[in-house]
Chain A
């Protein structure tokens, strides 16, 4: 038995208020959100370990600051899906707009379609798995966590990257400043295989990916590097 909120009659405030009011040990663990119609800030800041299914397209910041819920968008998601997620799981069945998973600290973000520009910008520990391709400047200033792309990556992947790790199966249009290809070792393949499985991409060979990360040449500001900034 699931709870149901129909956004044709209820408001975003009704939805978020109801989800925020749930205790950590709630037994109301499945919520269906009907008629989302691209509204913004749906299911944001939800800490309870529940499952929220959004039956359609979501607007900006869906599941933003997620603290432990599983949020499934059964359509496309707008800007900043799962931005600053701390824990939990966010899944987008369609495509995601720009800045998916921006600054997220933890949890798992799975995008079955494509993600637009700046996917994983400034990410701080989240695992992001994209079934399709990602746009330009993805993983810009990415600090920690992993971005896995089954398709291709756009221009300037990993520009000014810190310690995040990037895995791309297809082509990379270009690498950003201080981002380099790195050796794919067994430990990386094992961990990647586990993430692919967790994301639901069981049949995908972890050995078919290339790894990218920081050359760490820009970690200390130096005038001779000025042209790289």
Chain B
């Protein structure tokens, strides 16, 4: 019997190609890269993985039982005083957003100047970094915090006295317990001279202070710094978020005026990726234990708490303050405001094997935006005056946004925001921020713990 024209056999259906969630493309590429080079990956930026963050919190706003303030009319204060505990000259800021420590060396002189200009217009402080204070930075910054770091590169008592506050750096969020490595291509003659090292060598920044260990020594170190500066300057202690309850308590007990707490989203100039992504706490998990420590000592609002690591907008600012911080600090966001990772440079990012938004080779000194570089031609791309203006604009937006939320919650000062204004969208965020899961009265974890 005629079967008619034969049809070619159809291939048996095959399973669709499936990428492993565990061995995803980024992971596989890293395995190949490690196999090819034999060295761990070093990069800038903070943690890039998804983490519980301020996005997981919501403000409740005013309602029948809460009375809002009139937008554009009724005053909502944003000023903050840091360091009134012991310092004769506390730092007075107009806004509760400061610029975090970033070094000349990792950043160009123009970028440092732009940060100073922007902070000054906005009425806030900026901060030096490893390698000491440059005259440009002192000149362009009305309020300058001087970092006192383990390496003590460029550490000079004259600069200590010229600063408006001193920040003893114990650690940072991107690498609690880690030091640093500034690669030779960024160690120009000027950077080398400031750090008393030969130009062009890979320069290690120490992870421990050379002349003190532990909280009892820290108390004496703070005493020395106060004596050298005649008790004029506020003394901050900066820690990476790891054991925030105890670190905050110990810093406060050692005599700090201000505790700076940096979460793992906080950026770094150069650290191992494995370190950035796997050590420390997201800032959301660190604020309440730190506030608890200060409350337990009766020092909340007497010792100020500045938090950082992933602050991007006024909602983040407001949420951090509602959880009990006195101010926040920004680094990565400030660089983005200056033009870091701007799509305008997409072709050049592509030539470096990356793209705008992903660029994190801040340690290599080839930044198309001219920020994380010591190359004179690249650095010249950033106009410090224009950059300063952009940063000031951004800081103004952060402040306006935080005020908008605070007024909606009925607060005449951003510091009047409180945990009761917040709920969480996830169980994790509810436990970490110690606020109820939205629509419930449930605070997982009992709202305590150290």
- A residues whose Cβ falls under 8 Å from a Cβ of B: 12-13, 16-17, 20, 40-41, 44-45, 59-61, 64-65, 67, 79-80, 83-84, 86, 98-99, 102-103, 105, 118, 121-122, 124-125, 140-141, 143-144, 160, 162-163, 219-221, 223
The answer on a CB contact under 8 Å between A45 and B206 is no
**A104, closest chain B residue (CB):** B152
Nearest B-chain residue to A214, judged by Cβ: B198
20 contacts between A and B (CB under 8 A): A12-B227, A16-B228, A41-B220, A41-B228, A44-B224, A60-B221, A64-B228, A67-B157, A79-B220, A80-B212, A83-B211, A98-B211, A99-B210, A103-B152, A103-B155, A103-B210, A125-B196, A163-B197, A219-B198, A221-B183
Binary A-proximity of B175-196 (CB < 8 A = 1, otherwise 0): 0000001011000000000011
Q: Verify B156–A86 contact, CB threshold 8 A.
A: yes
List the count of A-B residue pairs having beta carbons below 8 Å apart.
Answer: 103
Given known A41-B223, A143-B196, contact A122–B202 (CB-CB < 8 A): no
**B196 contacts A144, C-beta separation under 8 Å:** yes
User: Given B37, B152, B197, B206, which contacts A162 in the complex, CB threshold below 8 Å?
Assistant: B197
With a cutoff of 8 Å between Cβ atoms, the chain B residues found around residue A59 in the complex are 220
**Residue numbers in A under 8 Å from B217 (CB-CB):** 60, 79
CB of B210 within 8 A of CB of A102, answer yes
Q: Which residues does chain A contribute within 8 Å of B206, judged by CB atoms?
A: 122, 141
Is B243 engaged at the interface, CB distance under 8 Å to the other chain? no
The answer to whether A13 touches B227, judged by C-beta atoms less than 8 angstroms apart, is yes
**CB-nearest residue of chain B relative to A120?**
B210
| Minimum CB–CB distance for B132 against chain A, Å | 11
> In the complex, how many angstroms separate the beta carbon of A121 from the nearest chain B beta carbon?
4
B151 at the interface (CB under 8 A from A): yes
- How many interface residues does chain B have, given as a range? 20 to 34
Given contacts A61-B211, A99-B211, A220-B202, contact A124 B152 (CB under 8 A): yes
Complex: chain A residue closest to B181, CB-CB: A221
Q: Smallest Cβ distance from A96 to chain B, in angstroms?
A: 12
A219-B157 in contact (CB<8A): no
A141 pairs with B204, CB closer than 8 A:
yes
Interface residues of B in 202-234 (CB under 8 A from A): 202, 204, 206, 210-212, 217, 220-221, 223-224, 227-231
Q: Please tell me if the beta carbons of A105 and B196 are within 8 angstroms of each other in the complex.
A: yes
Assess the A64–B224 pair: CB atoms within 8 A: yes
Q: Which residues of B contact A60 (CB under 8 A)?
A: 217, 220-221, 224
Asked whether A44 lies within 8 Å of B202 as measured between CB atoms, the reply is: no
Q: What is the minimal beta-carbon distance from B48 to any residue of chain A, in angstroms?
A: 23
Would you give the shortest CB distance from A39 to chain B, in whole angstroms?
Answer: 10
The CB with the most chain B CB atoms within 10 A, among A64, A98, A163, is that of A64
